[in-house]
Amino acid sequence: MLRRFTFVTLLVLASLLLTACMSDDEAADTTADTTAATTASSDESGPSEDAVVRVAFFADMVTVDPDVFYDIEGDAVMLALYDGLLRYAPGSTELEGALAESWEESDDGLTYTFHLRPDAKFSDGTPVTSDTVQKSFERRTAVNQGPAYMLADVARYETPDEQTLVIVLKQKVAGFLDLMASLWGPKVINPKVLEEHAKDQAQEFLKTNAAGTGPFTLESFKQGTGYTLARNPNYWGEPPYFAKAEVSVQPDVSAQLLKLQRGDLDAIMHGFPLANLDSVESDDKLAVESFESLGTTTLFLNHNKPALADVAVRRALIQALDVETLIEEVYGDTATVPEGAYPSPLLPDEAPVDYTADADGANQALEDGLTLEVVYTPDSSGVQRRLADLMRQRLALVDVTANVRQVELGTVFGYRDDVKNAADIYVSTPTPDGAHPDAWGRIVWYTKGGLNFFNYSNAKVDAALDAGLRA
């Protein structure tokens, strides 16, 4: 199920979040009567001396270390603090330069040459050079957390001059440039900080401090409470309109909406309950904008459980759910059914998947009295809970009992250690690491993939994914 991202904002402060501060599928392009702009170029008066934008997160950020951060909540903060070599153009999957103003790929796909912006600086004024980029990338590999895989195929780095970085790969990686542009892609860290805190690769320091080149600096980071960002005076790009951004941690969406209506918040960036959209759309003080997202609601089926070991049974469950109707009931016009197994924009010409409802066929394939455990993780919009509840109702029509419950994300990541005792079905809405097919397939289906919760392993699937990556 391909979903849209929804952004709710006070009309009098539209265009609240600067493009540089948001993930590519979340960049807001709104207008209003009053003065507010994404960057100086979108407002004749230029950057404000004291304007502050106030938003809230549903969950706390565990870290602001760009080589450790691998989450959704907090992506706007990370993009405000750090830059990589490339990025996606706002509202697009087109690549554009960030710290690299141009780049070339060799004919054999093994060598990438990046030409750095001569005016790029860190927030303390230290210039960005090819050597500093190399040290940052090497640090990601050494820290070896979730995003480290993006550089796993690097054979070596070369720095022929201060403005040129050459990356030589061990083998071809078709989506390498998309990894460089990824929200979680390699970011460039001030070498002074890495040197001053070399004992632990600066991990303790960078957990709550920032040392990047982004449009903002981190003024304060109070876990469980919130974060304050201030405009970076040494930013290489167009300066952001806002002098500061204040982010509070507020898990309750109802409380966020109340603060928005009172004027204590300027925007709810995501996770707004679909059931409440009509009420805010009728409020002339609020504006609602929706943007395309690669987030795709997915049912992870635990093939290790005896009840789901047979592919015919798994197929029958999908037939029983009536996927197209299910999506319409849960998401309305805010989601579409993908044509195949990938988010549609990533592989538009892929072989279609048959989601046709067939209750009679499902009845024949399913055992009488089958009982399944269906779990979902907390979701501020409530759609995953709603989806799981509707699944329970649909499956009951074919004599399948679905016991639905909420679990924490940490529990789900622990399933791979004990798949036999894990849930039968997990409802989730993951997003790929980049706008390339491999950025989806490798984390979901590949053996030991980051989101392969039930340890699915198929040598043919792995080989096909590898072949596609090397093509």
Same domain membership, residue 244 and residue 198: no
Same domain membership, residue 269 and residue 302: no
Predicted local confidence at residue 259, as pLDDT: 93
Nearest to 276 by CA among 2, 85, 6: 6
Same domain membership, residue 319 and residue 259: no
Q: Cα(462)–Cα(443) distance, rounded to whole angstroms?
A: 11
Same domain membership, residue 19 and residue 94: no
Q: Mind listing the pLDDT tens digit for each residue in 71-96?
A: 888 999 999 999 999 999 988 899 99
Burial 94-128 (b: 16+ CB within 10 A, else e): ebebbbbbebeeeeeebebbbbbbeebbbbeebeb
* Stretch 430-458: mean pLDDT: 93
Last residue of a domain, one of 153, 188, 206: 206
The proportion of the chain whose per-residue pLDDT surpasses 70, expressed as a percent, equals 90
Domain at 174, CATH number: 3.90.76.10
Domain at 10, CATH number: 3.40.190.10
Q: Mind listing the pLDDT tens digit for each residue in 268-310?
A: 988 888 888 888 888 888 888 888 888 889 999 999 999 999 9
The tokens describing 125, both together, are 């004024």
The tokens describing 66, both together, are 């760009």
The residues near 229 (Cβ < 8 Å, ≥ 6 apart) are 77, 80, 81, 216, 217, 218, 219, 244, 245, 246, 247
Q: Mind listing the pLDDT tens digit for each residue in 32-63?
A: 222 222 333 344 468 999 999 999 998 899 99
Predicted local confidence at residue 45, as pLDDT: 64
Nearest to 316 by CA among 338, 301, 298: 301
Q: Mind listing the pLDDT tens digit for each residue in 339-366?
A: 888 988 888 888 888 888 888 888 888 8
Does the structure show a pLDDT above 50 at 452?
yes
Q: How far is CA 83 from CA 210, 406, 421, 438, in A?
A: 12, 36, 42, 23
Same domain membership, residue 424 and residue 342: yes
Last residue of a domain, one of 271, 293, 315: 293
Predicted local confidence at residue 287, as pLDDT: 87
| Strand ranges of the sheet holding 400-406, from the earlier edge strand across to the other edge | 298-301, 425-428, 370-376, 400-406
| Residue the block writes with tokens 């709710």 | 8
Does the structure show a pLDDT above 50 at 4?
no
Same domain membership, residue 419 and residue 270: no
Same domain membership, residue 399 and residue 446: yes
Decide: 22 and 216 in contact? Cβ < 8 Å.
no
Same domain membership, residue 440 and residue 309: yes
Beta strands 95-97 and 86-88 are: antiparallel
Mean pLDDT of the chain: 88
Residue span of the structural domain in which 423 resides: 297-470
Same domain membership, residue 122 and residue 19: no
Confidence of residue 14 (pLDDT cuts 50, 70, 90): very low
Does the structure show a pLDDT above 70 at 16?
no
Does the structure show a pLDDT above 70 at 413?
yes
Predicted local confidence at residue 333, as pLDDT: 84
Q: Cα(294)–Cα(296) distance, rounded to whole angstroms?
A: 6
Predicted local confidence at residue 271, as pLDDT: 83
Same domain membership, residue 388 and residue 334: yes
Backbone angles phi, psi at 285, to 5 degrees: -95, -5
Last residue of a domain, one of 206, 222, 252: 206
Predicted local confidence at residue 141, as pLDDT: 98
pTM score of the predicted model: 0.85
Q: Cα(121)–Cα(399) distance, rounded to whole angstroms?
A: 63
Dihedral sign of CA atoms 248, 249, 253, 258 in order: negative
Same domain membership, residue 281 and residue 169: no
Same domain membership, residue 373 and residue 432: yes
Decide: 116 and 99 in contact? Cβ < 8 Å.
yes
Decide: 439 and 409 in contact? Cβ < 8 Å.
no
Q: Which of 20-24, 92-96, 164-168 shows the lowest mean pLDDT across its residues?
A: 20-24
SS3 content of the chain, % helix, strand, coil (to 5): 35, 25, 45
CB atoms within 10 A of CB 56: 23
The tokens describing 157, both together, are 């780095």
Q: Mind listing the pLDDT tens digit for each residue in 116-128?
A: 999 999 999 999 9
Domain at 316, CATH number: 3.10.105.10
The number of domains in the chain is 3
Does the structure show a pLDDT above 80 at 158?
yes
Q: Check residues 358 and 380 and name the one with the higher pLDDT.
A: 358
